[in-house]
Amino acid sequence: DSGVTQTPKHLITATGQRVTLRCSPRSGDLSVYWYQQSLDQGLQFLIQYYNGEERAKGNILERFSAQQFPDLHSELNLSSLELGDSALYFCASSVGEFYNSPLHFGNGTRLTVT
Amino acid sequence: EDKVVQSPLSLVVHEGDTVTLNCSYEVTNFRSLLWYKQEKKAPTFLFMLTSSGIEKKSGRLSSILDKKELFSILNITATQTGDSAVYLCAVEAGGAQKLVFGQGTRLTINP
Per-residue pLDDT band for B81 (boundaries 50, 70, 90) equals: very high
Nearest CA in chain B to A56: B97
Give residues with Cβ within 8 angstroms of B2, minimum separation 6: B25, B26, B27, B28, B91, B93, B95, B96, B98, B100
The partner residues of A82 in beta bridges, in order of sequence, read none
CB contact under 8 A, B43 and A102: no
The mean pLDDT of B91-102, rounded to a whole number, is: 79
From the list A42, A17, A26, A22, the residue with the least C-alpha distance to A34 is: A22
Residue B97 is predicted with a pLDDT of 65
pLDDT of residue A97: 74
What mean pLDDT is predicted for residues A99-110? Answer: 87
Residue of B nearest to A38 (CA): B103
| Interchain contact, B45 vs A58, CB within 8 Å | no
CB A104 within 8 Å of CB A26: yes
Q: Assess A73–B contact: CB distance below 8 Å, yes or no.
A: no
Note whether A93 contacts B: Cβ–Cβ < 8 A. no
**How far does A25 lie from chain B, in Å, by closest CA?**
14
| Contact between residue A50 and residue A72 where contact means Cβ atoms under 8 Å apart | no
pLDDT of B96 = 56
Quickly state the pLDDT bin for A10 (edges 50, 70, 90).
very high
pLDDT at residue B1, as a whole number: 81
Mean pLDDT of chain A, nearest integer: 93
* Beta-strand pair B105-110/B10-14: parallel
pLDDT tens sequence across A46-79: 999 999 999 988 889 999 999 999 999 999 999 9
Q: Nearest CB to A104: which of B45, B99, B104?
A: B45
pLDDT at B94 over 80: no
A vs B: CB pairs below 8 A: 50
Contacts of B53 (CB under 8 A, 6+ apart): B64, B65, B66
- pLDDT over 90, % of chain A: 79
Given B31, B45, B102, which is nearest A102 (Cβ)?
B45
pLDDT at B95: 59
B11 touches A at CB < 8 Å: no
Give residue-wise pLDDT tens across range B29-71: 888 999 999 998 899 999 999 988 889 999 999 999 999 999 9
Is A43's pLDDT higher than 60? yes
Instruction: Say if CB A44 and CB A36 are below 8 A apart.
Output: yes
DSSP annotation string for B78-110 = S--GGG-EEEEEEEEETTTTEEEE---EEEEEE
Q: How many CB atoms lie within 10 A of CB B11?
A: 16
Sign of the dihedral defined by the CA atoms of residues B23, B26, B32, B34, in that order: negative
Q: Which residue of B has its CA nearest to A5?
A: B42
pLDDT at B99 over 90: no
- For a pLDDT cut of 90, what percent of chain B falls above it? 78
Residue B109 contacts A, CB cutoff 8 Å: no
Bridge-based pairing of strands A5-7 and A19-24 is antiparallel
Confidence of residue B80 (pLDDT cuts 50, 70, 90): very high
- Does the distance separating the beta carbons of A105 and B44 come in below 8 Å? yes
pLDDT, position A41:
73
